Amino acid sequence: MEFQSGTNNLIFAYGLVDPDPCKLDGDITYHEGRRGSRILPLRSYANPPPEDKFARLDYVEFRFNNYLIPAADTTYYCEVQKAPTNYSTKRHAIGILIEPANRGLVHHVLLYECHPTSKFDDNNLPHGLCDTLYLELAMCTTNIATVWAVGGDEIVEFPQEAGYPIGGDFEIKYYLIQAHYSNPQIVSNHHGSTGFRFYLGEELRQHELGYLSFGTETSPFALAIPPHMDKFVVDSYCRASATQVSYELYS
C-alpha cells in the first residue's frame, strides 16, 4: 500500500491480547468496541525541519489554553489577542510551530490579522463562540496571517528570502485566532490548547510574506445559502488592482 502525501483516513481496530507470531494458530481476538478512525498526515507535503532547529530563537505565541471543548458535533471558538509590544523594531518570523492539542478533535485553526484601525479593550478582548461575536469580529476576518488544517505539517519553515513581520512598526496590532473543533462522537470533558508559535529570525529578510485569498469569505456578511435550495452558485470577482505589484494590503 502506498501512502499519499497530505490527508489520509486511517481506520483502526485492536484486541487486548497480542497474537503469538511463533504459533501458526495464534489467536487474534475480536476487537469488540475498540475501534475508530482518524484523519492523519502519514506523509508530509514538504520536508519539515526538526523543532530543535529553532530552539535558540525568540518566539511569540498566539493561542488559547485549556479551552473546554463543548460536547457538540461542531464548534467554532474565537479569541482576539494583542500583538506583542515588547519588540521596538520589526522582526521577521521564519518558521511556525502549530499546536493543535487534542488533535483528533481539531479540524482547522486560523489566525487572522485584524484591520489596523480595529480598536478593542485590552482588558476585555472578545472571546467565545464565533457566531455570537461576528459583529465584534467584523474587522478581523479578512486577511489571514497563517492557517493549519487536517493533513498539514506541524512545523513550517518559510523560504530563506521571506519572513512574516511581527512587532515594531508593523501595522497589525490585533489578531483573531479561530479553531474549528469537529466532535461527531460528542466527546465530553476534553480541554484543548490550540494555536501557533512564530519563531523570530535574528535578521530581517528580503521580502515579507502573506496570504492571498480568493473566493467569497464565509461570514454572515458574505456567503449565505438560501434555505431549501437544491443548487446554489457563488460568483466571486477579483479587482484588477489586486494583481498589481503596488497593490496595498488594505485599500
Per domain, the residue ranges of the chain are 6-43, 51-212
Cβ neighbours around 128 below 10 Å, total: 11
CB 232 within 8 A of CB 211: no
The grid cell for 203 is 535578521
Here the cell at position 40 is 492523519
DSSP at 52 = G
What is the pLDDT, as a whole number, of residue 172?
94
Contact 183, 74 (CB under 8 A): yes
Q: Which residues contact 138 (CB under 8 A, 6 or more apart)?
A: 219, 221
Say how far apart CA 219 and CA 134 lie, in whole Å: 8
Q: Residue 54, SS3?
A: helix
Is the confidence at residue 30, as pLDDT, over 80?
no
- pLDDT of residue 246 exceeding 50, the answer is no
**Mean pLDDT across the chain, nearest whole number?**
82
Q: Which residues contact 155 (CB under 8 A, 6 or more apart)?
A: 48, 49, 50, 51, 95, 96, 97, 98
The predicted model scores a pTM of 0.74
- d(CA 100, CA 110) in angstroms, rounded, equals 11
Among candidate residues 61, 29, 33, the one with its CA nearest the CA of residue 196: 61
The pLDDT confidence band at residue 141, using thresholds 50, 70 and 90, is confident
Q: Which three cell numbers stand for residue 69?
A: 471543548
- DSSP state for residue 102 in the 8-state scheme: S
Residue for cell digits 490579522? 113
Three-class secondary structure of residue 123 per DSSP: coil
Q: Which CATH architecture has domain 51-212?
A: Sandwich (2.60)
* pLDDT tens-digit map of 146-160: 998 887 778 889 999
pLDDT score, position 82: 95
| Highest-confidence segment of 47-56, 58-67, 116-125 | 116-125
Task: For residue range 164-206, list pLDDT tens digits in order.
Answer: 999 999 999 999 999 999 888 888 888 878 899 999 999 999 9
Of 37-41, 110-114, 149-153, 231-235, the one with minimum mean pLDDT is 37-41
18-31 mean pLDDT:
65
Q: Name the DSSP letter for residue 211.
A: -
Q: How far apart are CA 169 and CA 224, in angstroms?
A: 37
Q: What average pLDDT does the segment 13-23 reach?
A: 70
Single out the residue of 142, 137, 134 nearest to residue 216, CA to CA.
142
Q: Which of 10-24, 135-149, 184-198 has the lowest mean pLDDT?
A: 10-24
Checking phi first, is residue 167 left (phi over 0); if not, alpha (psi -120 to 50) or beta?
Answer: left
Residue 248 has what pLDDT?
44
